[in-house]
Each structure stands twice: as structure tokens, then as C-alpha cells.
Amino acid sequence: MKLSLETLTIAAARQAIQQKAITARALAEGYYTRIAAADETIGAFLSLSRERAFAQADRIDQLAQRGDPLPPLAGVPMGIKDVLMTRGLVTTAGSKILENFIAPYDATAVARLEQAGAVMLGKLNCDEFAMGSSNENSAYRPVRNPRDTTRVPGGSSGGSAAAVAAGFAVATLGTDTGGSIRQPAAFCGVVGLCPTYGRVSRYGLIAFASSLDHVGPLTRTVRDSAILLGVIAGRDPLDSTSSDVPVPDYTAALAQDVKGLRIGVAEEYFGEGLDPEIAAAIEQVIERLRARGCEIVRISLPHTKYAIPTYYIVATAEASANLARFDGARYGHRACNAATLGEMYRRSRDEGFGPEVKRRIMLGTYALSAGYYDAYYLKAQRVRTLLTRDFQQTFTRVDAVIAPTTPTPAFKLGEKSNDPLAMYLSDIFTVTANLTGIPGISVPAAAGGNTRAGPPIGVQVLGRHFDEVTVLRVAQAIEQDRG
């Protein structure tokens, strides 16, 4: 059996190993060969974990040789975004301040993947502390989009999306704080799933904004995302924010037809700033869903225009609090030859953090400061409640919402580096899911899935809290109809 590493799915990889058409070790070696040949250009991986990967692959091969039942992800080569703890491996969060930090334990999501048989190839590049929309903020090197290496892959999970798009892994884990799984998935032409807040444990995630952070998969197909979500979802006693909600069989649910589902289309997502080609592609997706028997309902989410300012107050405030722990005293980079403790703190943070992280810390500290807390942070939380109510009311009328994932296709490297506001507006369609905690997925759009210039177009499906089943069903219908 000849396998195409660029198109291999989870089910196909597992089946090939079970049928002894290939060994898990040989499969891992095949991906390492691809990484060695092409990742110098792409920049998806920050480090490789060959010893750990081959040890896991050998365990899977022993099971296969004995004819024992194989776990659901047996031998599937994966990569992990470098903001998730991986025991014994350098875990940097894309920052110089953690350049030599060795993680003492595994994040729960990582542990669950390995328990299910996944083979961890290495740690994936990302914007520093997951702060960015282009993966140009990594302290080590930018990531390039495999579809067009002159363009960004999106961020902050740019390495995770690029690794799947380039055929460096079957699937990857990313994190999504304001669109950081869905936006790079759209830019790279892959599938990116942001589950409901609390559906997947955040234990072992280096926090950016604790009330907004989600852990989720990036894959080649919707079915693969469903498989991975089934593995990593569920209550975790180590994370008090993880929800004790039953985890359904997501892959079985994909067999259900979408006929009769009510699909909402919000006027606020189709206004000024949306690329005409993206708007046309989303309209074609909507018409194909209508042809499948879905009822298309025009809706309004009136507080959407406040989403970006609300997000960048809440997210920076939480970042300011979370990143206070990186002071050079306990772990991470420490400045040398400081005369006083205060100087050591200041110099360690100045030397260790990059410009975007410093910008967000300062913005967040200002929003939380005496005299400004009520005017900024408290008001932002009130608007966040209004955004949540918009969706709660909408989901009494519809089963899912269709929207663009991004306002434009992937932009050129360096195009927005000196314009933070333009960069922040890249997240205009994705931040609402994080502010409200609802699930969302980005899949390559119909009508060819690409712009005339080449970069892919992503379409986003949003759903009710803990209703990933419906989100995945609609996403698969879009995937199946893709021209």
C-alpha cells in the first residue's frame, strides 16, 4: 500500500498500521524526512522529539504485530503547538523568555492524545505567547504559508496549520484565544476546530487570556477533527474550568443529514472590509446548504461592531495578569549582573519579551489600573455579556451560523507588521466565539476554495454551547460540496 503523506487521514494511517501495510516507525520516519527536506523554508517546527516519537511508534508496532486491538489514534503522527506542556521537552511559547524551559509534565490534551496512540513528532512554532494573527511574532523565526511562501500562515497557531498544509503531520493541536486556530486554518486551506469553552481541558496550557483560551485540532478533514475532539474532550479534575458535560460520539453524528437545519446568516458579517471574493464564496456555500434542504434565516447580531475593542481590552488585561509570573526569579530567562531585585525583574522581562507581548502587557495593565478599570475593563465585560445574549437569542431561532472566517485571504509577510490595528482587524469574525465561549470551525470554502490570486478561503460555522455535533455536521456538508 502506497501512502500519500500529504493527504493521509487519521483513519487511513491507523488502518495501514493495523493491516501491517506500514509500521508506525516507518510512518514517523517518512514525516521526519519531509520535515528535514522542506521545513527550513516553512518554519513550522521549533523542535523535534524523535526519541519520544519512536518509542511510542514502537509500542504501537508491537500491538499491531501481536494482533491486539489498536487505540483510536494508533501511530498517527502529530505536532503540538509550543504553548502546551510536553514533559521533558523544551516548551518555549515562541518566546525567548522560555528559551531553555523544560516542561515538567504533559498538558492534559497532550496526555490524552498519547494515551490514544498518537505519535508526537515535535513542537510547533507560534506567535509569542499566542499573541498574533500572522505568526511573525515568534521569537525564533516566522512561519511561511505552504500554499504561497510569500504569505503568512495566520496566527497564532500558524505552525500548527502550516504543518498540516505542508504534509509534515497528519494532524496537530493548536490553541484559539481570538481565532488562532480558525484564522490560520482558513489561510492555509485546512480544517480548524475551536471547541466550546470548557469542553477541552486547558491544564498544561501556558495561558494568554484564561477566560478566552481554547485547545483544539487542526486537520485535513472534518472527520479527523471529530475524531480528535472525541479523544481530548471531557471533564478534567486538574482544570476547574473544564465542564462535566457528556461527550457524544462525534464521528457517528456525522452520518446525520443536515436537511431541515436552520442556518443563520448575520448581516453584520457581510459589510465593509470583506473581500468580494470571500463574500461570493460564502454566498455559494449558503446556496449549496439551501440545496441540501437547510433553511437559511437572515439574522442580526447587533453588538458585533464592539467585538474587536472588547476583545482587545479583555485579552490584554488577562495577559497582563498571566504574564506577571515571568519575572526571572522562578523559571525562564534571568538578566545577568543586575544590581537590585527590581532591576533584575525589569531587565529580565525587557530582554525576554518581544514587542507585541510588551504592547499587550502595557495595554492590559493600563486597562486594569486605578481610575481606568471601570471605564475600560468593566465596560468591556458588560459588552461581552451583550454579545453572549446576541448569540443566545439567535440560537433560539437557528441551529448554526455561517460566516466568513477572515475578512481577507492570507496577506503578504511584513504587510501588516507595522500596523497593529490592521493586524488586529484580521480577527474581526473570530473573536466573538471566544468572548461568548461558543464552538466554531473553519473549513475551506466551496466554489474551488481559493481566490483567483491563489490563497484559500475559509468559511466559519458557529454553534450553540456544547453543540459541536451540529457544527461538525454542517462543516462536513460544506466539505463534501466543495467544488
- Of 277, 272, 287, residue with least CA distance to 455: 277
So what's the pLDDT on residue 447? 47
DSSP per position, 182-230: HHHHHHHTSEEEEPPTTTB--TTB--S-TTT-EEEEEESSHHHHHHHHH
Specify the pLDDT at position 453. 62
Q: Residue 272: what pLDDT?
A: 87
* DSSP per-residue codes, 338-404: -SSHHHHHHHHHHHHS-HHHHHHHHHHHHHHSTTTTIIIIIHHHHHHHHHHHHHHHHTTT-SEEEEE
The C-alpha torsion from 265 through 401 and 476 to 294, rounded to 10°, is: -60
Measured over the CA atoms of residue 375, residue 378, residue 380 and residue 382, the dihedral's sign is: negative
pLDDT at 450: 62
What is the C-alpha to C-alpha distance for residues 38 and 178, in angstroms, rounded to an integer? 29
So which residues are the catalytic ones? 81, 156, 180
Do β-strands 77-81 and 171-176 pair in parallel, antiparallel, or remain unpaired? parallel
pLDDT digits (tens, 9 = 90+) for 350-378: 999 999 999 999 999 999 998 899 999 99
Residues of the chain with pLDDT under 70: 1, 446-453, 483
Whole-number pLDDT of residue 407: 96
pTM comes to 0.96
Taking residue 241's Cβ as centre, other Cβ atoms within 10 Å add up to 13
Task: Spell out the domains of the chain, with CATH numbers in brackets.
Answer: 1-304+386-483 (3.90.1300.10), 309-375 (no CATH)
